[in-house]
Structure 1
Amino acid sequence: MSDGLNRVVLLGNLGADPELRYAANGTAVLQFRMATNESFLDRNRELTERTEWHSVVVFGPRGEGLSRVLAKGSCVLVEGTLRTSSYEKDGQKRYKTEVHARDICFAGGPSLAAQREHAGAMRRDVDDDIAPLETPLPQEGPEAVPEPAPPARPPRKRNGAPPRKTEMLEEMPF
């Protein structure tokens, strides 16, 4: 019998800024809530959207680093495992299911409004990053059209063998 497989892959957006805490042994623990959206046609053939919320936990130095770059609205791809734990509150047993993240990839950034809200005055306007055009545009007409580049020479074949490294380097435009 096999050991089984516990793997979760989520693509969604952070619902709030992540929280960084430290365990008693000094290990960093980053926690955040993440929303995934799904659209489908219901029985009445109407478009319906469903949002699921997930609790994600990242441990160690990776959590510390991610706490500096993740913000509310960040779009991320999370790969990890599901972990369920129980605790007692007011005499009742409660359960909590979390995604323990192994890999996190950025799938896009937060909206511009979310970036400004998070960064405040430190965020510059996008227009400030555009440098003014210093070289004039070419004039229209036949003299402004550049000469086409000669076609690249295909690699030589040696009786069906792949080209040698030196032959491939000759083909590379540097």
Structure 2
Amino acid sequence: MSRGFNKVILMGNLAKDPDVRYTPSKQKVARITVAVGRQWKSKTGEIQNHTDFIQVVAWSFSADICEKYLRKGRPVLVEGRLSVRDFDDARTGQHRWVTEVVADSLTLLPGGKRDEEGEPFRASAPSYGAPRAAAPQEDLGSLRDEKGFGDEFPLDFSEIPDEGTPGDVDIPF
């Protein structure tokens, strides 16, 4: 059997607050609903809107992120895989099918709904170093002139010896 490819990327807003629970083995699981809107023009030229509400399941660390930082209206980027499972509903006795996205990673996006004090929801990511300051454009230009890097490509291919075997070329950087 050949190996398949199952990748889902969603960007949208949370339709409701996360539902966080624990399995009998004490593993944290969060269920979220991501509202993804789309827009198109009909044959008559009218703009049509539609929103899909997609169920997402996040486990362990991703479930922690959902619980701590996600609230209704918060924009989020979800990467994961599509999962289809079936079960017998104990209440009705019916056989049911569920299609959902199992999240591999969640990215909190800026913007979205504001909290009670009017402040936007913000998740602080850990800082792993000081932010780099952008160099002013005039400094970059003078650096180019000093180092002799002008606007042309810095490597002249005529300087590379032709050894007749592609892939054996030493690139000088």
Counterpart position of 1:152: 142
Which residues of structure 2 form unaligned runs of 5+?
A: 121-137, 160-172
Q: Which structure has more helix as a fraction of its residues?
A: 1
Query: What are the residue-to-residue correspondences of 1:4-15 with 2, within 5 Å?
Result: 4-15=4-15
**Contact 1:71 1:110 (C-alpha < 8 Å) held by counterparts:** no
Q: What RMSD in Å do the two structures reach over aligned CA positions?
A: 2.8
Alpha carbons of structure 1 residues 156 and 15: separation in structure 2 relative to 1, 3 Å: same
Alpha carbons of structure 1 residues 81 and 125: separation in structure 2 relative to 1, 3 Å: closer
**Contact 1:57 1:99 (C-alpha < 8 Å) held by counterparts:** yes
Shift of 1:44: 1.9
TM-score (norm: length of structure 1): 0.66
Measure, in 2, the Cα distance between the counterparts of 1:108 and 1:159.
Answer: 41
Query: Once structures 1 and 2 are overlaid, which stretch shifts more, 97-106 or 62-71?
Result: 62-71
Counterpart position of 1:73: 73
Which of 95, 98, 102 is matched with 2:97 structurally? 95
Shift of 1:84: 1.1
Residues 35-77 of structure 1: CA deviation (Å, up to 9, x unaligned): 1000001122210001111111110123113311111001011
Measure, in 1, the Cα distance between the counterparts of 2:48 and 2:155.
Answer: 60
Query: Any idea what SS the aligned residue of 2:109 has?
Result: strand
Query: Any idea what SS the aligned residue of 1:80 has?
Result: strand
Query: Any idea what SS the aligned residue of 1:152 has?
Result: helix
State yes or no: 1:3 paired with 2:3.
yes
Query: Once structures 1 and 2 are overlaid, which stretch shifts more, 42-51 or 32-41?
Result: 42-51
Q: Which amino acid aligns with 1:86?
A: D
Q: Which amino acid aligns with 2:85?
A: S
Counterpart position of 2:60: 60
**Contact 1:35 1:51 (C-alpha < 8 Å) held by counterparts:** yes
Alpha carbons of structure 1 residues 38 and 23: separation in structure 2 relative to 1, 3 Å: same
Query: Once structures 1 and 2 are overlaid, which stretch shifts more, 91-100 or 152-161?
Result: 152-161
Measure, in 2, the Cα distance between the counterparts of 1:11 and 1:21.
Answer: 24
Counterpart position of 2:29: 29
Which residues of structure 1 form unaligned runs of 5+?
A: 117-122, 127-148, 165-174
Percent of paired sites with the same residue: 27
Shift of 1:91: 2.7
Counterpart position of 1:86: 86
Alpha carbons of structure 1 residues 22 and 36: separation in structure 2 relative to 1, 3 Å: same
Counterpart position of 1:108: 110
